[in-house]
Structure 1
Amino acid sequence: MRQNDKNFLYFGIPYALFFFGVLALTLAYSKSELHMALTANYSPAMDLFFRYFTEMGASIPYVMVGVLLLYRFRASLYLLGSLLIGALITNGLKRIFSIPRPKTYFSGNFPDVVLHQVEGVGVHAWNSFPSGHTTAAFAMMACIALMANNKYVSMLCIVLAVLAGYSRIYLSQHFAEDVLAGSFVGFTCALALYPMFRKMNVPGGWADESLRSVVRRNENHQN
């Protein structure tokens, strides 16, 4: 096993614990009970944190694609491919199931329940399963963990991915099962495309270059 594959265990093993732990909770409790339990504790500081941290599954993954262009083309393509395939799968499942989000679910089944709302966050009504933000966050973090040759980076990545997933529950945009499914899609996409990333590791090939190296070479030719 390659060293960076071993380092990925520091992401993969905690993810397995997270996955089966959340799965057990979804089987033991109803979606309403579990959602209320997971959103029972909140504060202004947590509101502010999760309002912005949820971008880990929105704009930040695609910003990271751009950043990686400055590092290696193959790294950027690997992340972009994982994100796009994950988005296609997630959006397809959303259309198939068309499950109500917490706002719609609780208003229809438990009208007396008032969900905590974070100021400045628009709460969606439908297409709850699975969570697209969670898919993107786990795809990005799993890709980074696989590419990194550092166990501490892998551990940081799984923490950030789980927090991004929980942000969707905290903001009442998704239920726990939505986050669980989204995490699996993102994680699986990153794993499935990893062999392609490794095959593109050809020294001197175009995939081994970066946007910086291309610009630098063009400047040298002009001079």
Structure 2
Amino acid sequence: MTQSKKSLWTFSLAFLAFESLCIAVICQFSRLEQMTWVNAHHADWADYLFRFLTSLAEIFLPIALAVNLYRKKHTFFIPYLTSYAVSTLLVQGIKHLIFPNSLRPIAFFEQLHLPWYLVPGVEVHTQNSFPSGHTAAAWFMFFWFALLGKSRSWSLGMAILAMGVGYSRMYLMQHFPIDVAVGAGIGFLSSALVYYFMLYKPHANHV
């Protein structure tokens, strides 16, 4: 097995473990139990950590990676942009066209008047909860980071960062676990399918 394949297998297995954990939590606990547990486990250092992790999936790092691919790994550039477009269109289409009234945690539980802990300096949104765009962006982007590293330890590190972004969305009271799980699925599968059809399959056909 080549280093690239080992890298992808490691990243893929980490993704499956993350999705399995999310599904177990979703099936076992109510939304209120899920968010109460997450919200109860906060600390000053965690506030800084998860604000940083959530920022990784915002516009700067995905664009910076695109520029780097264009300059140093040109064969990945178009597939990367394709997966970026597919992931973004799917997430935004689902958010705004299929589930436009999906409430985020702070609005979903508004009638309960619960004393939620909110991280200082973070604007907590109320609409378009499903699915998580940040989580989709993280799994799509770190898929390509993992592929570039070509080692199992690097891939695992990239998967852990993607998981951290997903958890940060719940920690910051922006999303439910189901939003994160579906966002992760969209991001990972967008990149995996684009990689298979645009890079792996054409290369395999010429071997």
What TM-score results when the alignment is normalised by the length of structure 2?
Answer: 0.90
Instruction: Supply the distance in 2 between the matched residues of 1:173 and 1:199 (Cα, whole angstroms).
Output: 38
Which residue of the partner structure matches residue 54 of structure 1? 54
Larger Rg computed on CA atoms? 1
Note the alpha carbon deviations across 1:129-168, whole angstroms, 9 max, x for none: 0000000000011122234321111111110000011110
Amino acid at match of 1:13: L
- What's the counterpart of residue 191 of structure 1? 192
Name the structure 1 match of 2:90: 89
Letter in 2 for 1:57: A
User: Does structure 1 residue 24 correspond to structure 2 residue 24?
Assistant: yes
User: Where does residue 220 of structure 1 map in the other structure?
Assistant: none
Aligned equivalent of 1:71 = 72
Other-structure match for 2:166: 165
In the alignment, is residue 107 of structure 1 matched against residue 110 of structure 2?
yes
Structure 2: give runs of 5+ residues left out of the alignment.
none
The code of the aligned residue for 1:37 comes to W
**Mapped contact 1:78–1:143 kept (Cα < 8 A):** no
Q: Match of 2:143?
A: 142
The number of residue pairs the alignment matches comes to 199
Report if the CA contact (8 A) 1:65-1:77 is conserved: no
Aligned mates of 1:62, 1:176 — CA distance in 2: 27
Cα distance between partner residues in 2 of 1:158 and 1:139: 11
Distance 2:75 2:165 in 1: 25
Amino acid at match of 2:27: L
8 A Cα contact 1:133 1:165, kept in partner: yes
Q: Which sits farther off after the overlay, 46-55 or 134-143?
A: 46-55
The 1-side partners of 2:83 and 2:185 are apart by 12
Segments of 5+ residues of structure 1 without an aligned counterpart are 202-223
Q: Do the aligned residues in 2 keep the contact of 1:39 with 1:116 (CA within 8 Å)?
A: yes
> Matched residues in 1 for 2:148 and 2:47: separation?
32
- Please give the per-residue CA displacement for 1:92-129, whole angstroms capped at 9, x wherever unaligned: 11121121001111113x22x12221111111110000
CA RMSD of aligned residues (A): 1.6
CA distance in 1, matches of 2:25, 2:200: 36
- Note the alpha carbon deviations across 1:30-61, whole angstroms, 9 max, x for none: 11111111221111111112112211211222
**1:120 is aligned to 2:121:** yes
